[in-house]
Chains A and B, each alone.
Chain A
Amino acid sequence: MRLFAAAAFAALVLAQSATAAERPRCGVPDYLLFGDSQLKHVSSAVVTEKRLRVSVVGTGSSALAGPDGPPSAYPARLEAVLTQRLPGVKVTVVTLLRTRQTAEDLAKGMDKLVADEQPDLVVWQTGTIDAIRRIDPDNFKAGLEDGMERLQKGGADVILMNMQYSPRTETMIAVGPYADVMRVVAQHYDTPLFDRLGIMRHWSETGAFDFYAAGRDNVLAQRVHDCIARAIAALVINAGRLQAGQ
């Protein structure tokens, strides 16, 4: 009997690790991912200089905790995926993590970021802290505009990235108005919006992920970050009009 239980347990573990090893099925429909805005600096950097320097600026949800956190968070995965899909291009992704900062706080650091890193592309992840602290949406918008001005003046393309879809905290954090502001600002500056909120909600609705799960380990988080990185890479390639391999 005990043997049987042990065998069943072993089979279960094997089955689970087999599914974990599979590449996650997390496709994103085009309408959620692609728009009309182009990433011109990205195009010229890749085509003429065969390099792509990306800076990720964001708060806590751009990182994962633990010793295996940094290499499996989406910025590191983005570097890996872009390197693989753009053969012959030197791709570097640096992360500037600014936990607990609002869009207005983050915007102030953009001049220094551009001077220090000279990025071709800045992925600016923001909105969550503003929604949690219930920052006045007008101030949030002003902060985003300030940051966009500084980045564009500094000669970098920008992808704005909004909040995560977090069903458990939906009754507590009203992200909607902030997501709307980000869409408006992205449109105004003709820059792509990476709609993390909509994309993750799509994954939830299609059953790709169960975001209600309360697991304490990093497995779900790592898979989600990997999928986010793949989606951002697809957006960069599309909006940069790049030739890419799979």
Chain B
Amino acid sequence: MHSPVVTTTGRDLRLDLFRGLALWLIFLDHIPSNVVSWITIRNYGFSDAAEMFIFISGYTAAFVYGRAMNERGFVIAGARILKRAWQIYVAHIFLFAIYMAEISYVATSFENPLYAEEMNILDFLKQPDQTIIQALLLKFKPANMDVLPLYIVLLLLFPPILWLLQRAPTLALLGSAAVYVLVWWFNFNLPAYPEGVWYFNPFAWQLLFVFGAWCAQGGAERLGPVLHWRVTTAVALAYIVFAAVVALTWYIPGLSHFVHLPGWLEDLIYPIDKTNLDVLRFAHFLALAAVTVRFVPRNSPWLSSWAAYPAIICGQHSLEIFCLGIFLAFAGHFVMVEVSGAIWTQVLISLLGILIMIGTAALIMWYKAIEGRGSTTRPKSANADLAGGEA
């Protein structure tokens, strides 16, 4: 069968596939009270789709811009990385506008006396001078809109990191790990508005991003042998099972009668800190990645089959599809509130949302093709941007 996916040289389709899947999961998780979100991985372990997304984004950023840096130098590659950060910033502000529209609508249309207190959320509307400026500064971030600001900061810091990764990859990775460890000690983070700190601490989450970039810059080959040891797979699988059992005790109350974690273990593992990328979360992601690499080889024929195609094209246009997913989650929740919150609506909204994401990804590919930027006619020097789309 003719492969529907255009493979560009060296691009690992597994990355696109899993980033596409991560985008679907992020969409499902962002619809509150959605029964379909029970299938997402956050319910069965410590880490969730955010880890997948940031790691793969680091990997693809290094893959795309690393090549540009090799061929055209630090300034050109750095400038393109900053341009990318700017695009993401604009996308984030667009989502913020949609969010403001939604709460303004709720403000004027919803008058249930039971929820008089919850309507205090509208206090933000009463001080637009503060709220909007703080949003532009990325300090005020509405619920569920924390990933893109993290991505922006990571990209802003990325040019020197990539430069170092190309010269001394081990040093770069150690430096990243050192910053991560320093976060434990000194607990620094970026400030948020009206108070507190960023939900995703960029100084902690950079570890995943840099680790992904390190893998793209030859680290994956170096890790290759270790990943194929039986003991690695066994340890990873054991940890995944352990995490799944612990996670299920959070959601299935009856389970705690059968599985009782000893007190010392509870003291050791709780709280599992998402803001600072808890070690348990990072380790859980590593275990998932190790098992995935082991059981889904890079050249698996089904990666280029029609079944994998929808997720892969979503993963190849991750910024557009990510933003669309956040918007669809808002819109889906809105439909649940205004029309029906029944289970069949939730399933329908989830399915429709993913179909819209796939359709949009296909549309973006079509646009790129008619604009003469299609991968099939790719000019030799411009392939960094086209290596499967984007970073």
Contact = CB atoms under 8 A, between A and B. Distances in A.
Interface of A: 31-32, 59-61, 64-66, 99-100, 128-129, 132-137, 139, 164, 166-174, 180, 184, 201, 204, 211-218, 220-221, 224
Contacts, number: 112
A171 B32 contact: yes
Rank and list the top 5 A-B pairs by shortest CB-CB distance, nearest first: A60-B117, A136-B196, A170-B32, A221-B114, A174-B143
Nearest to A217: B113
A221 B194 contact: no
Given A220-B114, A221-B112, A169 B106 contact: yes
Contacts of A60: 116-117, 120
Interface stretch (B57-65, B149-157, B333-341, B366-374): B333-341
Contacts of B270: 184
Interface residues of B, number: 39
B111 A169 contact: no
B129 interface: no
A139 B197 CA distance: 11
B115 A134 contact: no
Contact of A133 (B99, B115, B195, B254): B195
Nearest to B191: A136
B195 A135 contact: yes
A173 B118 contact: yes
B33 interface: yes
Given A65-B113, A139-B195, A139-B196, A171 B329 contact: yes
B114 A224 contact: yes
Given A164-B115, A213-B112, 9 more contacts: A61-B118, A66-B113, A129-B117, A135-B196, A137-B196, A167-B33, A171-B143, A204-B341, A214-B111
**Residue among B30, B32, B99 facing the most chain A CB atoms (10 A cut-off):** B32
11 contacts: A60-B120, A65-B116, A132-B121, A133-B194, A136-B197, A164-B118, A167-B336, A168-B110, A204-B33, A218-B113, A220-B114
A169 B102 CA distance: 10
A91 to B, nearest CB: 25
Nearest to B343: A205
